[in-house]
Structure 1
Amino acid sequence: MPKANSECFVRRTYNAHGGGAANVAAYSAFYGGLKVGLVSKIGTDREGGELVTRMKEYHVSVKGVSKAEDSISTRIAVIYSSERSRIYLVYLGAVENLSVKDLPAEYVSNSTLFYIAPATPRVHKEYVETGVKHGKLIGFNPGSVYFQEGDKGDFQQLLKFVDLLFVNEPEALEYSNEESIQAAGSALQRLGAKYVIITRGNLGCMVFFKGGSESYPSYKVERASPVGAGDAFAAGFLTEFVRTRNIESA
């Protein structure tokens, strides 16, 4: 990466539709065969409309997707400087207007699990509280939101309501203030999350639960792109868990 007040050349760029919630919804519905509804806000721009079209193609209900007037859809710039080093620049745009009022009643009555993707601390709190109120399983991926926005204490308060916490290695270490993955996973589980799933790239993942942990290797596959790999993992995990409630098979 360039230093301050300097520049560098970019080798390749490309555009894609997605985002944490949209990716997990699409993978779970299209490949997992689940009935999935997406809740989000889009702007009045072309990109927002294209996302809705793509979600329909992946058999995702978009009844919970609404437009925010005078806003543009979320933009995420992912900057890669090496295989395992990346920076996300996120402009929330329309999603800043998202609230629990955008959640369709039929989603609540017909769902088993709420999967809450990276958003604002306010949105996380509203949707976790609503899910718990209605007896839903809570899957939560905070991303790195609480590194910069809100307070880690707010994040920790949510964990007592979370059934499945999805974080990667850097996130686990940062949120737990620990120096090893084993210590980090155990600490996050003690804070209240029933299961803590830490993804480790090509090393697989570790799952922490009350009284222990298990490590699982990754499958060897041909990589098309690392973008959204964590979302694909979460979708596969959630699909199996919703059907079986079995962590081992998930």
Structure 2
Amino acid sequence: MKKIDYLVIGHITRDVTQAGNLVGGTVAYGGRVAHALGCNTAVLTSCQPEYEGLQELTGLTVKLLPSANTSTFENIYGENGRIQMLYTVASSLGVDDLPSAWPQPTVLHLGPLTNEVDPAIMHRYPESIIGLTPQGWLRHWTEDGRVYAREWPEAERYLPLADVVILSEEDLLNDEMLIRYRQHAKLLIMTENAQGCTVFYGEEVRQVAAPSVTQVEPTGAGDIFAAAFLTQYARNGRNPWQAAEFANFIAAQSVTKLGLDAKIELIQQVTQENFSIT
């Protein structure tokens, strides 16, 4: 197989919305964005083989682990924030599920959603830029499917192995959790929705503002930010400040459109108009 620029691992999902079922998951949003930004992109995921959402990964190299279920979420937005429900879960993803023929990627992005990704996969690709969006390791759910934030028991073991860790405010139980994760992560980014993000790099902390836009649909913005950041970080000599500005811009554009295809089309357009991507 030819060179892999971007390998993203996690569940593709079925997202229940008022407009009907939509495709979701870091592999879908992040994978499509990396591809739109010119990366040869590969995906390791699990779902029902007949899941129609797999069509959204056309153009990407996909290894599918067949499962009896497709991970299915519902996000319910209200005045007090988001209530998240998880109804079904696909199969777990481990080192042995990676094709032996796949070469070491430039960027390895682990994007768990249901605690499905074995973080030991990081050991498989020691020369890659390793990015974590650990939200799926930072949540648990009750018998009725209600999702809550939790501590990640293996955080101290695996955070130091990553080059970039990207969290959202919703992932954290408290401020003390952020302090501890900063101590273990080489480079930590906390996304803050319309406010942009805060970059923690060594002893330096910078708040990087996002452009002001009219929000239509925020779904997938965090995954889009992560893919844009990691792609640009790999290309610009690992400059976190410039990568954060780029990712803020791309994520802000994405929330002005409804649906993955429309978001990707706009991202390709604004990238061509504003940046030189090679």
TM-score bucket of the superposed structures, by smaller chain: 0.7 to 0.9
Match for residue 248 of structure 1 among 241, 244, 247: 241
Decide whether the 8 Å contact of 1:152 with 1:175 is kept in 2.
no
Shift of 1:120: 4.8
Alignment-derived partner of residue 37 in structure 1:
42
Structure 2: runs of 5 or more not aligned: 1-16, 142-149, 244-278
Where is the helix percentage greater, Structure 1 or Structure 2? Answer: 1
* Aligned pair partner of 1:118 in 107, 112, 115: 112
- Flag the 1:144–1:41 CA change in 2: closer, same or farther, 3 A: closer
Match of residue 21 from structure 2: 15
Instruction: Letter of the 1:246 partner, please give it.
Output: N
Q: Does structure 2 retain, via aligned residues, the 8 Å contact 1:144–1:171? A: no
Deviation (angstroms), 1:26: 0.8
Number of paired residues?
218
Q: 2:85 aligns with which of 82, 85, 89?
A: 89
In structure 2, relative to structure 1, the CA distance for the partners of 1:123 and 1:175 (3 Å cut) is farther
Equivalent AA in structure 1 for residue 169 of structure 2: E
Rounded to whole Å, the distance in 2 between the matches of 1:126 and 1:235 is 21
Q: What whole-Å deviation, never above 9, does each CA across 1:141-193 have from its counterpart, x for those lacking one?
A: 11153343786331232111111111111324x27635xxxxx3x532212x1
User: Distance in 1 between the 2:87 and 2:97 partners?
Assistant: 20
Task: Specify whether residues 153 and 93 from structure 1 end up closer, same or farther in structure 2 by C-alpha distance, changes over 3 A only.
Answer: closer
> How far 1:14 sits from its partner (Å)?
2.9
- Please give the alpha-carbon distance, in whole angstroms, between the structure 2 residues aligned to 1:144 and 1:111: 22
Structure 1: gaps spanning 5 or more residues: 1-10, 179-183
In structure 1, what residue type is equivalent to 2:181? L
Cα pair 1:28 1:36 within 8 Å, conserved: yes
Which residue number corresponds to residue 195 of structure 1? 187
- Normalised TM-score (structure 2): 0.70
Q: Does residue 100 of structure 2 align to residue 100 of structure 1?
A: no
Q: How does 1:1-250 map to 2 (within 5 A)?
A: 12-30=18-36, 32-45=37-50, 48=51, 50-56=52-58, 59-62=59-62, 64-68=63-67, 71-82=68-79, 85-94=81-90, 96-107=91-102, 109-121=103-115, 123-131=117-125, 134-143=126-135, 145-148=137-140, 152-172=152-172, 174=173, 177=176, 184=178, 186-191=179-184, 193-244=185-236, 245-250=238-243
Q: TM-score, normalised by structure 1?
A: 0.78
Q: Which structure dedicates a bigger proportion of its chain to strand? A: 2
